[in-house]
Structure 1
Amino acid sequence: MNSGRPYLKNCPINHLLWPFRNLPENYVVLDMETTGLFDESGAPGIVTIGIVEVSNGKAVKESEYAVRPHRQMTNEASQINGIGDQQAQSFPTFTSQWPDIRANLSDHLVVIHNAVFDWPILIEHVMRYGVNEPSILGVFCSQRAAQPWAQAMGLKCSDRGPSLDTLTEATGVHNFRSELDGIHSASKDAKQTAEVVEALRRFQQSEEESHCLS
């Protein structure tokens, strides 16, 4: 946590972060880069999948899978993730990598910063390719969970909640995205989400401790 933000340690509105208190010590963070957004043709294609395993507040395993999408990459998406359509078509197929992806997700709570976008796309691909769903413990959206706190803090929020960049700046954690000159990487964004989630958990715990001592 950035020492330049000491006011966040015992901020009285940190009780709004109570959903983070109930997170297990071990979970996985999922992030994906896609060919674009949902449109009249349905779900976008997956281009990369990043999975970070977190244990006792630390990222202990980081995996990224480059996936050949079933749809053409939009120019907007290519500018965001830095991957061209020709390059994406050279990636391995979703089905060839799914056993390993599924194993990394199974038996865990899956944390996603924008779960309302990413998770339906993953399930659409599971159905599209006729593979078995991962046996997970649930899906936790860190964006939605942080929304009441972020709004009380006066942070910029969309209708889904604060962006990962907004929470990165507010919590003062290391900005992995800055290492890539703003390009989005699924594994880096998953690691960024893990850092933000653990910072918010610490803020909530500090609020609980201050009440116990008062």
Structure 2
Amino acid sequence: MSFVSIDFETANKYRDSACAIGIVIINEQGVREEFYSLINPLMEFDFHNVYVHGITESDVIDAPTFEELWPTIKGYLNNHLLVAHNASFDMSVLRACLDRYRLDYPKLEYLCSVMISKQVWPGLPNYKLNTLAELHGIQFAHHHALDDARVVIELLLRANKETEVTSVRELIDVIQISCGKIFERSYITPKAKRNKRTVRSRGVKNYHL
């Protein structure tokens, strides 16, 4: 069941402007490790982004750059399965920051918890992280990178329980989703497979996927 949840906040509209990162790792024994850091993007902050996450230019003056943090971050990501909410955003931030500093890409696969949630809990009004957290009674500080990463872990654990599986790998097999990958100058997105199956959930109606 070992997997890694990741979340970025950005300083402005540019994907290489990461200003905070949150990472949560959970292993087969359920032991968690967490990592959080502000990041100095070495560029201006947009007022809209500041309004969303509350991080300002003055907050990151003494923070490390992405390049300086990368050896630590890479240790958490390399050869692991990553999960992010709206993963296309977080993976694009990761790729843009790697490209900006000309850093080697890690070897990893990734999943999107939005896609997983749509398969496990169909028919919700929306699949925003705060909506899903409220549905499951999870309290958190939205748009704080570490808190967001924690919620993603909780959602995956609850999806495992509801579909009566013991690992994320087993979960994605049951709900028929393929993993995404990132490469230098390219990527593959996670996809829902065409074959429809019935997921039998514990204590709830069967969902036809």
Q: TM-score, normalised by structure 1?
A: 0.72
Task: State the alpha-carbon separation in 2 of the partners of residues 77 and 100 from structure 1.
Answer: 25
Q: Assess, with a 3 A threshold, how the Cα gap between structure 1 residues 210 and 93 changes in structure 2: closer, same or farther.
A: closer
Q: Does 1:102 align with 2:67?
A: no
Q: Which runs of 5+ in 1 are unaligned?
A: 1-24
What SS class does the counterpart of residue 62 from structure 1 fall into?
strand
Q: Assess, with a 3 A threshold, how the Cα gap between structure 1 residues 59 and 197 changes in structure 2: closer, same or farther.
A: farther
Cα RMSD over matched residues?
2.2
Q: Which one has a larger percent helix, Structure 1 or Structure 2?
A: 1
Displacement of 1:100 in angstroms is: 0.6
Task: State the alpha-carbon separation in 2 of the partners of residues 92 and 100 from structure 1.
Answer: 11
Displacement of 1:209 in angstroms is: 6.1
Q: Does 1:123 align with 2:95?
A: yes
Q: Which residue of 1 aligns with 2:158?
A: 199
Task: State the alpha-carbon separation in 2 of the partners of residues 84 and 141 from structure 1.
Answer: 28
Displacement of 1:28 in angstroms is: 0.4
Counterpart contact for 1:171–1:200, Cα < 8 Å: no
Q: Does 1:165 align with 2:130?
A: yes
Displacement of 1:163 in angstroms is: 0.8
Matched residues, number: 170
Displacement of 1:140 in angstroms is: 0.4
What SS class does the counterpart of residue 92 from structure 1 fall into?
coil
Q: Which one has a larger percent strand, Structure 1 or Structure 2?
A: 2
Counterpart contact for 2:8–2:93, Cα < 8 Å: no
Counterpart contact for 1:103–1:134, Cα < 8 Å: no
Deviations 1:104-163 (A, max 9, x none): 111110101111111011111101101111121x010011221244443xx222xxxx01
- 1:151-162 aligned within 5 A: 151-152=122-123, 155-157=124-126, 162=127
Which stretch of structure 1 is more off in the superposition, 121-130 or 59-68? Answer: 59-68
